[in-house]
Structure 1
Amino acid sequence: MSGRPEILFPLFGELTALEGIGPRTAQHLAQIEIDKPRDLLFLLPYSGIDRRRRESVLGADLPETLTVEVQIGVHRAPRARGGAYRIAAEDAGTGFQIVFFHARPEYLKKVLPEGERRIVSGKVEYFDGIAQMVHPEYILRPDKAAEIPEFEPVYPLTAGVTQKTMVRAVGSALARAPALAEWIDPAQKDRAHWPGWQEAMHKAHTPRSLKEISAGDPARERLAYDEFLAHQLTLALARARLQRAKGIISQATGDLQALVRAALPYAPTGAQKRAIEAIALDMARPVRMNRLLQGDVGAGKTLVAFMALLVAVEAGGQGVMMAPTEILARQHLAGLRPLAESAGVVLEILTGRDKGAERRAKLAALARGDIQILVGTHAVFQADVHFADLRLAIVDEQHRFGVRQRLELGKKGAGADVLVMTATPIPRSLALAQYGDMDVSVLDEKPPGRQPISTALVSTGRMDEVVAHLRRAVGEGKQCYWVCPLVEESESVDLAAAEDRFRHLRAELGEGIVGLVHGQMPPAEKDAAMAAFQDGQTQVLVATTVIEVGVDVPNATIMVIERAETFGLAQLHQLRGRVGRGSQASTCLLMYQAPLSEAGEKRLKVLRESEDGFRIAETDLEMRGAGDLIGTAQSGVPRFRIGDLENQASLMAIAQSDARKLLTDDPDLVSPRGRAARVLMWLMEQDQAIRLISVG
């Protein structure tokens, strides 16, 4: 199927072909990303108005939208220009007024003639003790009463588009919605009592009650599932393509791993052992590994990563570990070097800093296979970097690696296995949406010897006490991070805030004790400031959030976060994880400016009560929504029009297993259901994915 199937053409035509949409309205709709009839179908009503007939407005809980039959009485024109034009009306139980502003009397006398009966529908409210219906939405003769819908859907609007225009346009788009062959697994569809696609569309746009507007309504749930299924098919196709590219069989001998285990001061946790086993099994298979290693701050990902790299070396090949920044690459190097020494493995680093002869020597050693494990930044992507036999590529997630980059990385080694690591605990629903093409290992246990971190909330009014506490800690030889608030407006304001705090603490604690690191420093200065803190030359490090990722100073036991209420939950959790890395008990002080908003207070309390990153991430998702949580723009998480990631995680999980099963049974999507799934992909505009299907 080379292009869009003909059956979908009517949904991908011009908006102006729909009833009531001229070029102006089409421009207005483009503001809310509605460019074609298909987009209107996916814009579902978010509420509805009950317009069922009542005998009287008497006894109604005003203000409320009501529909009643009335006898029209006297018209009273306004005394002053622009005032209210009032018409008396009697229903079966009481009298009220119908009110118009900027009225045209001759027109109103024609549509609401004195002495005749009419059906009116509109919002009724009390004004000065009198019930009034201002500008009724419907005025009809009793014999035309059927023209008023009993329940009227309410659509999200944009400037220049009315509900009436929207209802007409959607009706016209619905008339073009074809009957499509079913792409959902029949057993799943029966279990969930879902209607077919065309019927679901009609039902979702013509609800008969508020209950039918909820996400759990079968018609809506089905349409949400369609979105999730198309997305998971895309991920499953990317995964299948990655696996079709022949993998290399890397068989572990276990010899090098045994040397490292013998040198460790503690035994790996159960979670670490399970992850290492799963990775070794994946690497021994002839298809490419595509695995996500998820572990909270301090869960011991480095050891798992190194054992995986050793599998590559034991099998006679090479491994690479990539970090997003120079400082983290150097830190990975520092963390891995003692492990490499215990195994007798050659480990090197390659970053943008390597120049000239030194770089050429490293590249030559890499191409000969003398360097067995390479740690690096994205500099390893450059064209002149060649491996003798790359078996495993490990990516540290801060790259925000999307599916495309994961495929890109694989090109360095024809069949290299890929392991992506993330220290951000991701709620299950988001993990499925963002990394649905991968297998997932979760490290949910802390290694032994990790001390819990006690977290306290302190208002900024108690700054002096906090500084006094620091003075004592510094006197005892402890180290401390002081994170300055994030000022969104500009980096220079951030910088000023950090410099002020640095000067204040230096004056309080003494010269040479306090260091400063912020985003605008030249990299070499930043590294020097970090190194001075890591070596214990400075005891307090004042920083903007540049330190949140991966920096490891075991002697640092205090983390002060100023204006903690301005940070997101996940970020606070990451920052707190910078302490508690050694054997001493650690504290995290969250300084907030009173009064706290309700949401701010909830965030800080969750943090105080829990160190479980997954629980914190779930709360963050509830409070902020998916797009916000990962910054949708650069996260690779799709935006769904109908599906709701936060509340429909279980649907996403069903979609994932269904998509994988469908492609296992029918890799080229040529069965009747496979062909229907292709139509779904076109309908959901997953054009990139369609190119991944081998042409059939």
Structure 2
Amino acid sequence: MRPNVLDPLFAPVSVVDGIGPRIAKLLCNLLPVPESMQEPRVLGLVFHLPHSIIDRRKQPGIAFAPEGAIVTLKVRIDRHQPSPRGRSNVPYRVFAHDETGEIGFVFFHSKPAWLEKTLPVGEIMLVSGRVEWFNGRPTMVHPDHIVSEANAADLPLVEPVYPLTAGVSPKVLRKAILSALERVPDLPEWIDPHVVAKHGFSGFRESLARLHGPRDEADVDLQNPARRRLAYDELLAGQLALGLVRRKLKKTAGRVFQGSGDLAARIREAFGHRLTEAQERSLGEIRIDQEKPERMLRLLQGDVGSGKTIVALLAMANVIESGAQAAMMAPTEILARQHFASISPLARAAGLRIEILTGREKGKARDETLAALKAGDIDILVGTHALFQESVQFRDLGLAVVDEQHRFGVHQRLLLSSKGQHSDMLVMTATPIPRTLVLTAYGDMDVSKLDTKPPGRQPVKTVTVPLVRLDEVVDRVRNAIANGQKVYWICPLVEENEELKVASAEERFDTLKKVISAPLGLVHGRMKGDEKDAVMQAFKQGDIRLLVATTVIEVGVDVPDATIMVIEHAERFGLAQLHQLRGRVGRGSDHSTCLLLYKEPLGEVAHARLAIMRETEDGFRIAEEDLKLRGEGEILGTRQSGAANYRLASLADHADLLEIARDDARLVIETDADLHSERGKALRTLLYLFERDEAIRLLRAG
């Protein structure tokens, strides 16, 4: 049960002064809304931090107020000039002066009586807002604050600036946040005293108050001690939750898988290539895990084309030799079918039975596969998330391999491994993930890295070309196809979009068809699975020479003799995505090229992205740069998968705190795994505060 002390924070926002049903509904666009509720929680307001400040302490005098600057002026009110009768579109003006000059205050759709009362002629007033100059004369349209000289103390000199949403004014939001802050209870300290002392952290409540009541720019900086304190709280909650999940999975005893190596030898022979040093090293790490009586939870990270699939297959062979079954799960049908196509010949050469199960397998064939699986006649089952369904029952699942893990949430990961009695888990990703992200999203896993490419792979030459030179690119593609090459052409959209003015895949397919005589194909996400497969197969076999596609082909599609990749509107793609797409070429022994077409002018981030793509093919370096440019949520695809998406911590700015949080969480789990000590009870409160309830349920379940 959540501690009662947190109840005020978990109440709906409508309990806060000044928030009625209309504002509560608008706040759904700004703050997280829990699944069980129709509106955000008070906690959402409390954690909604300002990103900058408005400093109203600048009082330069009218003549010295810079264009566009927010200033505070001490003025005497001279006269009012109401809008002419019947012409409400003409603004109401109030003129005033100080010793340096004159200014006009401008009000649209105003109430004259209110203005006469607020700005009485002859009185000295403090007026604060943005100054604009027209024809050498200063004006201030709708000042932010107006107070009399006697009430100068009521003027907020430093104001926090918050992210906003349409329909909610800064004043309404600020009032609601201040009211929400009053509901924050005094909570027990959950941070280790040594960490508190070393980093100069103040208490949780005090840190929130400091961030919402900034006194200068330094108070809203990400490195401010109050912000670092809250970032640490969030990171510690995440690391502790992952650690408890890990402990639960490890505690349910695993099994020892120790095969003779005969199956693996047969697979290697059918494969016909020597494994790289990185592949052998990773395989060795997996074998050590498999031979321990604990469950394996390992992440196999490998750049595009580094040979993860063969490593996974050899790991499966060891489990199958020990009498169990293996499963391999991919996020899309295209990828599942591709894995099936690439590992089937090797598995069958070793005498293994391998089948596929996606949403497309239906009727009698599906029933036969399920029956054979339950009877233990199938050694390896490849599939999509269809493998999660209750009807899918293994006789004895020993190893679950999950590809492109960041597309699946942690819950799905646990669901699949629960299909087997204490089955091992190997997760693969072709998206190189920076160390900090490995810790946050996979803190519960050991990591193996494939950091070298198989021999014979050629580097891909990357060139950036402005879209105005599109005709030259089309000529080059036409010549390449005439010389027997295969080409990918990637577009960001499926169909034309008026608002974005970006070429769509369908539109580009139509224009290229008119100027290139070779057979063309089109693939996008709205096509049926078997249609997509048929086009991909035709491209692979060479019946299609140019494939126009959206990013559905991003992950794992393998056509070794494709040598040119054209990415249109490359400025619209993230770095990791560009790197994945580029990885579709350069898979054979021929020289390959990636052409990044961009629309001018380029923004700063897009320019940096394209420059990095030209400089390096190292996926791990690209991932680190991507983290700096885009932040963590995008890289892991957590927008879809519900994994760690931080509200208070920034992984690019607080990476040092993440390491400390991980070490502290490990120590807690070693010394007080059930969180029974005084600090342990405080840490339970922390887990609830950051909505890591699953971890507490695991504690209760033992």
Shorter chain as denominator, the TM-score bin is 0.7 to 0.9
Contact 1:64 1:123 in 2 (8 A): yes
Change (3 A) 1:272 1:129: same
Deviations 1:308-342 (A, max 9, x none): 11231343322222234555344324433454467
Deviates more, 1:311-320 or 1:377-386: 377-386
Change (3 A) 1:415 1:455: same
Say whether residues 1:9 and 2:7 are aligned partners: yes
Give the Cα separation in 2 of the matches to 1:61 and 1:611. Answer: 48
Q: 2:45 aligns with which of 34, 40, 61?
A: 40
State the match for 2:640 in structure 1: 634
Deviation at 1:394, TM superposition (A): 0.5
State the match for 1:584 in structure 2: 590
State the match for 2:510 in structure 1: 500
Say whether residues 1:321 and 2:324 are aligned partners: no
Say whether residues 1:683 and 2:689 are aligned partners: yes
State the match for 2:35 in structure 1: none
Deviates more, 1:555-564 or 1:420-429: 555-564
Deviates more, 1:238-247 or 1:264-273: 264-273
Deviations 1:663-682 (A, max 9, x none): 33222222212211221222
Q: CA RMSD for the aligned pairs?
A: 3.7
Contact 1:125 1:132 in 2 (8 A): yes
State the match for 1:74 in structure 2: 78
Give the Cα separation in 1 of the matches to 2:168 and 2:637. Answer: 30
State the match for 2:555 in structure 1: 549
Give the Cα separation in 1 of the matches to 2:403 and 2:532. Answer: 21
Change (3 A) 1:515 1:213: closer
Indicate the SS of the match to 2:381.
Answer: strand
Deviations 1:106-129 (A, max 9, x none): 666655555555544444454543
Deviations 1:356-391 (A, max 9, x none): 776666555544545433334445445454434321
Change (3 A) 1:636 1:134: closer
State the match for 1:205 in structure 2: 212
Which amino acid in 2 is paired with 1:317? A
Q: 2:306 aligns with which of 287, 295, 299?
A: 299
Change (3 A) 1:9 1:355: closer
Contact 1:484 1:497 in 2 (8 A): no
Q: Could you list the runs of 5+ residues in structure 1 that have no partner in the other structure?
A: none
Give the Cα separation in 1 of the matches to 2:474 and 2:127. Answer: 70
Give the Cα separation in 1 of the matches to 2:538 and 2:164. Answer: 57
Aligned residues: 685
Deviates more, 1:551-560 or 1:61-70: 61-70
Contact 1:350 1:380 in 2 (8 A): no
Which amino acid in 1 is paired with 2:255? I
Matches within 5 A, 1:500-539: 500=510, 503-504=513-514, 508-509=517-518, 514=520, 517-519=523-525, 522-539=528-545
Deviates more, 1:404-413 or 1:284-293: 284-293
Give the Cα separation in 2 of the matches to 1:156 and 1:457. Answer: 35
Contact 2:201 2:225 in 1 (8 A): yes
Change (3 A) 1:246 1:661: same
State the match for 1:611 in structure 2: 617
Indicate the SS of the match to 1:481.
Answer: strand
Say whether residues 1:153 and 2:153 are aligned partners: no
Indicate the SS of the match to 2:354.
Answer: strand
Matches within 5 A, 1:301-380: 301-337=308-344, 339-340=346-347, 344-352=350-358, 363=370, 366-380=373-387
Change (3 A) 1:278 1:63: same
State the match for 1:415 in structure 2: 422
Deviations 1:59-78 (A, max 9, x none): 454544444555x3533444
Deviation at 1:660, TM superposition (A): 3.6
Say whether residues 1:86 and 2:94 are aligned partners: yes
Change (3 A) 1:76 1:267: same
Q: Normalising by structure 2, what TM-score?
A: 0.85
Change (3 A) 1:381 1:213: closer
Change (3 A) 1:278 1:48: same
Deviation at 1:213, TM superposition (A): 0.9
Which amino acid in 2 is paired with 1:12? F
Choose 1 or 2 for highest CA Rg: 1
Indicate the SS of the match to 2:94.
Answer: strand
Deviation at 1:433, TM superposition (A): 3.6
Contact 2:505 2:549 in 1 (8 A): no
Change (3 A) 1:636 1:110: closer
Deviation at 1:305, TM superposition (A): 0.9
Change (3 A) 1:687 1:117: same
Q: Could you list the runs of 5+ residues in structure 2 that have no partner in the other structure?
A: 32-38, 498-502
Contact 1:309 1:392 in 2 (8 A): yes
Which amino acid in 2 is paired with 1:40? L
Indicate the SS of the match to 2:698.
Answer: coil
Indicate the SS of the match to 2:462.
Answer: strand
Change (3 A) 1:89 1:586: closer
Say whether residues 1:571 and 2:577 are aligned partners: yes
Which amino acid in 1 is paired with 2:286? I
